[in-house]
Amino acid sequence: ANNTFGTPSDDAFRRDLTINALFYGIENHTIIDYVGGVKDLEEGIIRLVGEPERRITRDPARMMRVIRHAARSDFAIEPSTWKAVVDNREKLMLCPISRIRDELMKDLHSGACRSWTELAMDSGLFEVLFPFYTPVLQSGNHRDNRRLLLNIQGSVDRLQKQGVPLPDQMLLALLLIPWAFAEYDLMNKSYKGGEFHRVLRQVRGGLDEVLGPMSIKKSHKETIALQLVNLPQFNKFAQENSWPKWLKRKSYYHDCDLFFRIFGEASDNKIIPENILADSTKRFTSAAKKPTRKRRYKKKKTSGPAFSRQKRGGIFGLKS
């Protein structure tokens, strides 16, 4: 093969951000900087390498990396880079769904969820990712909805920094709380007779619609629905200080209990007991270590290529 490699300077100008385009010279033990990364690092600035508009057009996922690094480092985003993100946010829809989903999960696991969410909302990227959130963030209660979501993400950050490995489905369920409250008026629900299962089916159907082709496992969507729909029930029993035995026997009890307590910390500053955090850490760590069984599928003979009939709306097929 006749491979041609670029120079270190070429490599530096291919990087996304100036602070990530620094090299170390082994021979003379010096930092090699072609793009002004040292100055930006010293001044706490996130800046795209090159002309921001052009770099984003060539790879719209760079917008998510700008937000991510600013959130994680608590650096300021350089004005022309910020303007390019705001002006080109809709181009994120051009990226493959799987790529954006993976980028999103990195941010939800980052320990900087609150800062990431705030920057994503301020730039408009949040509503590109989740267009169904638009009415929630533009309603008469938009300030309360925004505050609740940011507080929830702040609690998520605290737990993750404390070493509690929250699973993907719980992170998504927590992200969806303000939407679920606005869409289903969950906290005013009183479950009698078959009402719980009716609301569960309703929320499950709503998740299918808004999450679209995000390729979330069916079992994970069921877990998200259970955690959301159980919130008013757990709130009622907590106020009564009475937890029925039938509920404690449920397989989802401990996860729903932690979910409720994270919500309680975010909404009412209620402290989560350390023993619950310790048990959750042990449970989630153990679950993550379990090997996943691969299912074997028989190949079907087809006479032509397969096409998806599902129409996408928003970056994940999410609908407003």
Secondary element (H or E) of residue 134: helix 134-138
Please indicate, yes or no, whether residues 164 and 250 belong to a single structural domain of this protein: yes
Please indicate, yes or no, whether residues 135 and 281 belong to a single structural domain of this protein: yes
Q: How far apart are CA 320 and CA 314, in angstroms?
A: 8
Please indicate, yes or no, whether residues 137 and 59 belong to a single structural domain of this protein: no
Please indicate, yes or no, whether residues 139 and 265 belong to a single structural domain of this protein: yes
97-147 pLDDT tens trace: 888 989 999 999 999 999 999 999 999 999 999 999 999 999 888 999 999
Give bridge partners of residue 76 from the DSSP assignment.
Answer: 45
- The pTM assigned to this predicted structure is 0.85
Q: How far apart are CA 230 and CA 216, in angstroms?
A: 20
Kindly report the number of other CB atoms within 10 A of residue 165's CB atom: 14
Q: What's CA 58's distance to the chain center, in Å?
A: 24
Mean pLDDT of 276-285: 95
214-256 pLDDT tens trace: 778 889 999 999 999 999 999 999 999 989 999 999 999 999 9
Whether 320 contacts 314, CB under 8 Å: yes
From 25, 27, 28, select the one nearest 12 (Cα to Cα).
25
Please indicate, yes or no, whether residues 80 and 32 belong to a single structural domain of this protein: yes
Q: Which of 99, 114, 143 is the last residue of a domain?
A: 99
CA dist 277 → 29, 110, 176, 274 (Å): 45, 19, 22, 5
What is the domain range of residue 190?
A: 130-287
The DSSP result for 56-105, as a single string, is: HHH-TTHHHHHHHHHHHHTPEEPHHHHHHHHHTGGGGGGS-HHHHHHHHH
Please indicate, yes or no, whether residues 182 and 265 belong to a single structural domain of this protein: yes
Mean pLDDT of 270-292: 89
Q: What is the pLDDT of residue 19?
A: 87
Number of structural domains found in the chain:
2
